[in-house]
Amino acid sequence: MTSTADLETQIRERIFAFPTPHFLGVDALNRPVAEQLLALADAFVAVNRQNEKKLSILRGRTLVNLFFENSTRTQMSFELAGKRLGADTMNMAPRTSSIAKGETLIDTAMTLNAMKPDLLVVRHSASGAAELLARKVGCNVINAGDGWHEHPTQALLDALTLMRAFGRVEGLTVAICGDVLHSRVARSNVGLLQTLGAQVRLVGPPTLMPAGVERWGADVFHDMRKGVAGVDVIMMLRLQLERMDGAFVPSTREYFRFYGLDAEKLALARPHVRVMHPGPMNRGVEIDSGVADDPAVSLIRDQVEMGVAARMAVLASLSARGEGGN
């Protein structure tokens, strides 16, 4: 087995400067860059499977997680990614601090900026919030989800998961199912999967589809049975509970009946079909437990593992570029 130190040497040779000062959306990535980033992330997977996981690539750098919206999973993933690269990481949940006292997003960012972090990871409930921050701070900003807009590292980790499961992304047919309207995961995935040469389908009730979705270059299905027929991958989206109960769909049981992924609908896909979910899952609402937990089918736990590696690749590459916004 290769030692961590050897791995680090190999990885350092692969690190390249990120094309933009910030990673706000998947449109920052063209195909060669996306593939380079995936290759780098793949190398980090090996590191994460070692006993000794700590590298020194980001030693001396400071990473701040600024999460205006709760997300244990994404926040931990970034924190771990930063720590494994040797950075000092810090979490800030403004919900419980200054924001409650009326401080604005920009004030918080400016305060943080004055402490000279190198990398700022932002999650916010409003679309465009990461963009706004990136214009005001002097470090590299990573969008960890802004409203309904983008969640680019999620798309990257999904692509990495597919790359490792299928050996390629090109030519795969991927059905993204559920609440596309409110989903930043869907927007980022449509963009990146198409860049990498996959065929994307969008499946869901018309009340949960954005206007003009037919112009996203994806085939749109309102009948899930038709939507998943013959696909290689089914990517389920989370349905917020407050959007059921008559607001966008009549009830959870009606939703599960028509848009929940169960063994019967799964059987319509290709025999080797794999299932993904960005988490956290609503079992029995959008996905049946039997499907979610079937190791022969489910890639859901792989996604979590790949999340750390994909984020390490983004952090390393952005740091190699340096020079944030200003």
Partner 1 sequence: MPQSQPTAFINARLVDPESRYDGPGALVVAEGVIADVSRRPRFENLSADLRVVDCAGAMLAPGLIDLRVKTGEPGAEPKETLKSASRAAAAGGVTSIVVQPDTNPAVDDPAMVDFILRRARDIELVHVYPAGAATRHCAGERMTEIGLMREAGAVYFTDGDHSIVNSKTFRRILTYARTFDALVAHRPADPWLTEGACATEGEFAARAGLPASPAVAERIMLERDLAIAELTDGRLLVDQITTETALETLHRFRARGVRALATASINHLCFNEIDTGDYRTFYRLDPPLRPESDRQALIDAVASGLVPIIVSAHAPLPAEDKRLPFSEALPGAVGLETLLPALLGFHHESRASLIDLIRAVTLAPAETLGLQAGRLSAGAPADLVLCDLDAPVRVEADRLISKSKNSPFDGRRLQGQVLMTLVDGRVVHQASA
Q: Under rule CB under 8 A, which residues in 177-196 are in contact with partner 1?
A: 184, 187
**148 scored as a contact of partner 1 (CB under 8 A):** yes
The closest of 319, 316, 325, 323 to 84, measured between CA atoms, is: 316
What tokens appear for 244 in the block?
């059921």
Residue in 106, 220, 281, 304 binding partner 1, rule: CB under 8 A: 106
Kindly write out the interface string for residues 48-87 of this chain, putting x where it contacts partner 1 by CB under 8 A and - elsewhere: ----------------------------------------
Interaction between residue 32 and partner 1 (CB under 8 A) = no
Give the nearest distance from C-beta 242 to partner 1 in angstroms.
Answer: 13
Q: Which is nearer to partner 1, 206 or 230 (CB)?
A: 206
Residue 99 binds partner 1, judged by CB under 8 A: no
18 near partner 1 (CB under 8 A): no
Name the β-bridge partners of 275. Answer: 234, 298
* Selected binder of partner 1 within 146, 286, 288, 305 (CB under 8 A): 146
Binding residue for partner 1, selected from 127, 194, 199, 252, defined by CB under 8 A: 127
| Nearest to partner 1 of 149, 274 (CB atom) | 149
Report how far apart, in Å, the C-alpha atoms of 121 and of each of 9, 25, 186, 269, 324 are.
26, 13, 20, 37, 13
Q: What does residue 181 show for φ and ψ, rounded to 5 degrees?
A: -55, -50
Cis omega (within 30 of 0) for bond into 32: no
Q: Which two tokens stand for residue 265?
A: 């609908």
Query: What is the Cα 206 distance to its own chain's centre?
Result: 24
- Chosen residue from 22, 123, 149, 311 binding partner 1 by CB under 8 A: 149
- Residue 123 interacting with partner 1 (CB under 8 A): no
Q: Applying CB under 8 A, which part among 77-85, 200-208, 210-218, 308-316 lies near partner 1?
A: 210-218
Q: 277-312: string of b/e by CB count within 10 Å (b at 16+)?
A: bbbeebeebbbbeebbeeeebbbbebbbbbbbbbbb
* Contact by Cβ (8 Å): 71, 196: no
What minimum distance in Å lies between the beta carbon of 195 and partner 1? 15
Q: Three-state DSSP class for 141?
A: strand
The answer to whether 297 and 266 have CB atoms below 8 angstroms apart is yes
Which of the stretches 38-46, 168-176, 193-201, 211-219 binds partner 1 when contact is defined by CB under 8 A? 211-219
User: With contact defined as beta carbons under 8 Å apart, do 155 and 37 qualify?
Assistant: no
Is there binding between residue 124 and partner 1 (CB under 8 A)?
Answer: yes
Is residue 252 involved in binding partner 1 (CB under 8 A)?
no
215 binds partner 1 (CB under 8 A): yes
22 DSSP assignment:
S
Site for partner 1 contains 101 (CB under 8 A): no
Residues touching partner 1: how many (CB under 8 A)? 23
Interface residues with partner 1 (CB under 8 A) are 104-106, 124, 126-129, 131-132, 146-150, 184, 187, 210-213, 215-216
